[in-house]
Copies of this chain bind each other. A is one copy, B any other.
Amino acid sequence: MATELAESYFPSPQLTPRDGDLFNIDAALTEEERAVRDSVRRFVDERVLPIIGKYYVDGKFPKELIPEMGELGFFGANLPEEYGCAGLNNVSYGLIMQELERGDSGIRSFASVQGALVMYPIYAFGSEEQKRHWLPRMAKGEVIGCFGLTEPDYGSNPAGMITRARKQQDGSWVLNGAKMWITNGSTAHVAVVWAKTEDDDDSGRSIRGFVVPTDTPGFTARDQKGKLSLRASDTSELVLQDVKLPAEAILPNSGGLKSPLMCLTQARYGISWGALGAAIACFEEATSYAKNRVMFDKPIGAFQIQQVRLAEMLTEITKGQLLSLHLGRCKDLGTFTPTMVSLAKRNNVNIATDIAREARRLLGGNGILAEYASMRHMANLESVYTYEGTHDVHSLVLGQAITGFNAFK
């Protein structure tokens, strides 16, 4: 009986683990989940890895990949098929994020924003009309979205938001404000912008979401220059100056800070998987290098110092995978909590930054070159460490959950 029970936990116990899957994580994935993962892995190997180094150095997002990503169903993959999405479970969705970020954090960020920060709020807070209008075209990648929440002086404290939406006599809206650190900001066709309405009572309950076509007069986006991280991703400042929107632009079921925070929870869930992808890329690169690079007449992988490095990487990746997997199963059941997501995002990004750094170091001088992936990931992950709730913010989220005390202020 014990065996039967374990089998139900492990849809694929018979599986010979893939090379490198030393903790037999694959046994806990369904055949479908593995198939999804493998198809994204192939896409990344064939389409992303050959070009990403150059795009990164040039500071450009590889837009040419968007249609194919859409076709393969990477955008909003956990949303229902009736809106043109793939309708996958959350573990499959996570595995997509993992594999995309094995390519580059910028690629995964693109998909995260599109799916979790634009399609998701339209799905969760939008009218049926909004859903039917936007979701299928966004799933295909024909329409690109961005998410306007963060403001220059309120990075970790969205409640401080200054952007305002004034309701006009005729029910239409006028938006004014500025947003910063907006992924896809300058490429997007549509922005989900969060603003305070005038009935603001400081409770934060008046925060509402608006669907803003980016060609609306008064809406401008400007790329942020001089990034030393996420260079293969567009990051913009948005300015909204008297942007007039029709009454129907509002997301009718949004209300309060809770709505954008729900989006962030979706995105963070994906990040917890994505960071593992970056870590896996670095671990695999380091392992391969260690097996082949000879120094003092031996492959460096035969030296204890490098073995300790690799052992640490493997251990941390394994634990991160189990965190995200458990989280995904809970998410499918509706029993996951923001605290759980904080724990997984915080941990997985943090270990990924360490793994990327150690991989780069194992690579020696070659480790600073864009033809290898580790230093690119190392640099990217610093953004991921900071965005969607900095590491420190999540420490305090956990601290509050544990002690009951708020230590943010």
Contact B386 A361 (CB under 8 A): yes
Contacts of A22 in B (CB 8 A): 337, 339-340, 343, 398, 401-402
Bound-complex Cα distance A347 to B330 (A): 25
Q: Which of B23, B157, B382, B403 contacts A302 (CB 8 A)?
A: B403
Indicate if the CB atoms of A323 and B333 lie closer than 8 Å. Answer: no
Residues of B with C-beta under 8 A to A236: none
Interface residues of A in 361-409 (CB under 8 A from B): 361, 364-365, 367-371, 375-376, 378-379, 382-383, 385-387, 390-392, 394-396, 398-409
Contact check, B368 vs A228: say whether CB atoms are below 8 A apart. Answer: yes
Complex: chain B residue closest to A6, CB-CB: B332
User: Is there a chain B Cβ closer than 8 Å to A217's Cβ?
Assistant: no
Does A129 count as interface, using CB distance less than 8 angstroms?
Answer: no
Question: What is the size, in residues, of chain A's interface with B at 8 Å between Cβ atoms?
Answer: 115
Pairwise interchain contact A368-B386, C-beta atoms closer than 8 A: yes
Of A96-104, A190-198, A249-257, A286-294, the one with at least 4 CB within 8 A of chain B = A286-294
Tell which of B24, B314, B340 touches A330, judged by Cβ atoms closer than 8 Å. B24
Contact call A402/B28, Cβ cutoff below 8 A: no
Question: Does A299 touch B at the CB level, under 8 Å?
Answer: yes
Does A308 lie at the interface of the complex (its beta carbon under 8 Å from any beta carbon of B)?
A: yes
Q: How far does the Cβ of A320 sit from chain B's closest Cβ, in whole Å?
A: 8
Distance in angstroms between the alpha carbons of A314 and B378 in the assembled complex: 25
Report if A181 contacts B (CB, 8 A). yes
Q: Which of A51-110 contact B (CB under 8 A)?
A: 53, 57, 88-90
Q: Are B375 and A3 in touch, CB under 8 angstroms?
A: no
Once bound together, how far apart are the Cα atoms of A339 and B310, in whole Å?
Answer: 14
Query: Is A371's CB under 8 angstroms from B226's CB?
Result: yes
Greatest chain B CB density within 10 A among A303, A314, A353, A360 is at: A303
- Minimum Cβ distance to chain B for residue A240 (Å): 20
Bound-complex Cα distance A347 to B314 (A): 11
Measured CB to CB, the closest approach of chain B to A228, in angstroms, equals: 5
| Cα-based distance from A332 to B302 in the complex (angstroms) | 33
Chain B positions within 8 Å of A8 at CB level? 8-9
Chain B residue at smallest Cβ distance from A287: B402
- Interface readout for A282-314 with B: 1 if CB under 8 Å, 0 if not? 000001001100111111011111111011001
- Binary contact track A16-56/B, C-beta < 8 Å → 1, others 0: 00001011110110100000000000000000000001000
Binding site for B on A (CB under 8 A): 1-3, 5-11, 13, 20, 22-25, 27-28, 30, 53, 57, 88-90, 150, 153-157, 180-181, 224, 226-230, 287, 290-291, 294-299, 301-308, 310-311, 314-315, 318-320, 322-323, 326, 329-330, 332-333, 335-337, 339-340, 343, 346-347, 353, 357, 360-361, 364-365, 367-371, 375-376, 378-379, 382-383, 385-387, 390-392, 394-396, 398-409
